[in-house]
Amino acid sequence: MPSRTGILLLVSGPSGSGKTTLCRRLADDQEAHYSTSCTTRPARPGEVDGHDYFFLSREAFDAKIAAGDFLEHATVHGNSYGTLKSEVLQYIDRGIDVVMDIDVQGAAQVRACTDPQIRNALVDLFVMPATDEELAARLTGRKTDSPEIIALRLKNAIEEMAHWHKYQYRLISATREEDYTRFRSLLIAERLRVARIIQSSTNPAQP
Ligand code: 5GP
């Protein structure tokens, strides 16, 4: 019997904000389960199916929508992305924290979710660079995408940045280490929330 229910730490931010690195590091440190998303976009060099994403055909993605397998799904940069319920619900139920890296549309869907388990678990954070110039520099620095894709990502990123105020928390990125310290601190603080503590007569005050 877990002493508390898990946290659903939802992280959004423009491409190049470093949010994926933060989420992955939290999972690598075994602080949380990383919710692996499904996508119809092709794998980039080095990406591994089942680790970075579940890479699906359009037909397979649509079949999952029809089966009601997604907690949320959205079209981002022309491809479909979705979070499987199975990547989230069973973990938070067992008191395991989950970290998810999703776009602003997906975040809006999760925020609108009426499931009490999700509502109680949800903590949302927006990660962003300090300036548009820094964002552009970070996006151009990633060599895996074509110039057209980089231009599209920059346009989308500037649009995404306008949504930061809808989130409970915002992190303006500094150095990798500082960002990670603040990010991990947020999770540690959220673990103290009374609303997620499961009370039982035999175990009333477990830390
Ligand atoms: P990328 O293709 O660069 O890995 O991700 C593109 C965007 O899709 C990022 O903003 C990322 O946060 C978002 N994304 C990744 N997985 C999901 C998901 O399951 N749902 C939604 N709504 N967005 C996602």
pLDDT recorded at residue 138: 81
Q: How far apart are CA 61 and CA 22, in angstroms?
A: 27
127-161 CB burial, b ≥16 within 10 A, e <16: bbbeeeeebbebbeeeeebeeeebeebbebbeebb
pTM of the model: 0.92
Residue ranges in the chain modelled with pLDDT below 70: 141-144, 201-207
- Ligand 1 atom with the smallest distance to the CA of 79 is 2
Walk me through the domains of the chain, giving residue ranges and CATH numbers.
8-194 (3.40.50.300)
Pocket of ligand 1 (CB under 6 A): 15, 37, 41, 72, 74, 76-77, 81-83, 101-103, 105-106
**Contact yes or no for 177/54 (Cβ under 8 A):** no
Give the mutation target among 76, 127, 143 for probing the ligand 1 site: most ligand atoms within 8 A of CB.
Answer: 76
